[in-house]
Structure 1
Amino acid sequence: MSAKKTLGAEQRRALLATPAGWLACGFGSGLAPVAQGTFGSLAALLPWLLLRELSLPLYLAVLLAGFGTGVWACDVAGRALGVDDHRSLVWDEFIGQWIALLPLLIPALLPNGAAAWWMPAIGFVLFRLFDVWKPWPIRWLDRRVKGGMGVMIDDVLAGIFAAIVLACGLHFLP
């Protein structure tokens, strides 16, 4: 099966029938008929509204645990689908998006010490930009690393790039 094809009803049911598949497809957000990565990134904003209340060390622990769990889940789901990085596997977008929004949890970076409503939107756009554009070394990793690690690592790096740009932008705001 080509990575560009959509999932059939049986494949969808099989994904949602296992904890690994359920997580890998972003609790169903990756089953959107188009723009699965964008839908996964949007869905990631909902739990982020709760995660942003965590202390920074706990937030980082959640990211690390989410990354490790994502490597496992995306590997299992990818093998079940017969495609290493099927576009329905969007847990990587969750982790990448949460990394991209990390600067919004650091009061010293924020004007007046608090995030404005538009800041997560900018973080979302930056993450999507780096995830789609895939500048070096993101594209290099995307092409060479396979399995669950391959699914996850390019989005982690896209999230880091987005976080750096967001942090720089916040630093230079008046």
Structure 2
Amino acid sequence: MNPSDPKHLLAFAGGAGLAPKAPGTVGTLVGVVLYLVLSMLPVAVYVLVVAGLFAAGLWAVGTVADELGADDPSAIVWDEVVGFLVAMIAAPAGIMWVIAGFALFRAFDIYKPWPTEAISSRFQGGAGIMVDDLVAGAYTWLILHVMWMMVEASLRGAGAH
């Protein structure tokens, strides 16, 4: 990693991807920190920022993967950062929701449930690296919001008694 090269800093999430064990998990932790900062923004601005980070990631991870001569090097973790940020769009406030989002995102990223592979196999380069984490983020977003609705319904039901 060349720390003076912006595409390296981005693709490796500031060096998180160079962790000797579980670089994807370490990269997702960078996403958690970034989420805690960005979560203070209005949802529309948050989504625009995440879209910009995704676009920057397309360039950075694709270029760095080409430099390394690999399709999806484990040291490239910007895809985990952005995937986690997608997972947390309009997430409920509270550390328990962040922990749930983290756990769900890692599970979906690691196990890649259907149709993750079918979708990501349609893309090459940076998009190929980024898309499976976008899908993991979308799955996590859906489950988090269903859980949130269930908690809210339970609380409303408990208040009616």
TM score, norm. by length of structure 1 = 0.83
Instruction: Return the letter of the residue paired with 2:76.
Output: L
What is the match of residue 60 of structure 1? 47
What is the match of residue 129 of structure 1? 107
What is the match of residue 99 of structure 1? 86
Identity %: 36
Counterpart check, 1:51 vs 2:29: no
Give deviations 1:97-155, integer Å, cap 9, x for gaps: 01111131xxxxx4xxxx22211000000100110110112122344422100011110
| CA–CA distance in structure 1, aligned partners of residues 74 and 45 of structure 2 | 29
| CA–CA distance in structure 2, aligned partners of residues 98 and 35 of structure 1 | 19
Q: Note the C-alpha offset of 1:44.
A: 1.1
SS at match of 1:102: coil
SS at match of 1:172: helix
Give deviations 1:60-102, integer Å, cap 9, x for gaps: 1011111111000001100110112101100011110011111
SS at match of 2:131: helix
Residue 34 of structure 1, aligned match among 21, 24, 27: 21
Counterpart check, 1:69 vs 2:47: no
| CA–CA distance in structure 2, aligned partners of residues 68 and 83 of structure 1 | 20
What is the match of residue 94 of structure 2? 116
Residue 134 of structure 2, aligned match among 146, 151, 156: 156
SS at match of 1:103: coil
| CA–CA distance in structure 1, aligned partners of residues 119 and 4 of structure 2 | 30
TM score, norm. by length of structure 2 = 0.89
Counterpart check, 1:90 vs 2:77: yes
Instruction: Return the letter of the residue paired with 1:134.
Output: K
| CA–CA distance in structure 2, aligned partners of residues 124 and 84 of structure 1 | 25
Would you say the 8 A contact 1:78–1:85 is kept in 2? yes
| CA–CA distance in structure 1, aligned partners of residues 118 and 110 of structure 2 | 13
- Divergent runs of 4+, >6 A: none
| CA–CA distance in structure 2, aligned partners of residues 61 and 49 of structure 1 | 16
Q: How many residues align?
A: 152
| CA–CA distance in structure 2, aligned partners of residues 17 and 140 of structure 1 | 36
Q: CA RMSD in A?
A: 1.2
Instruction: Return the letter of the residue paired with 1:67.
Output: F
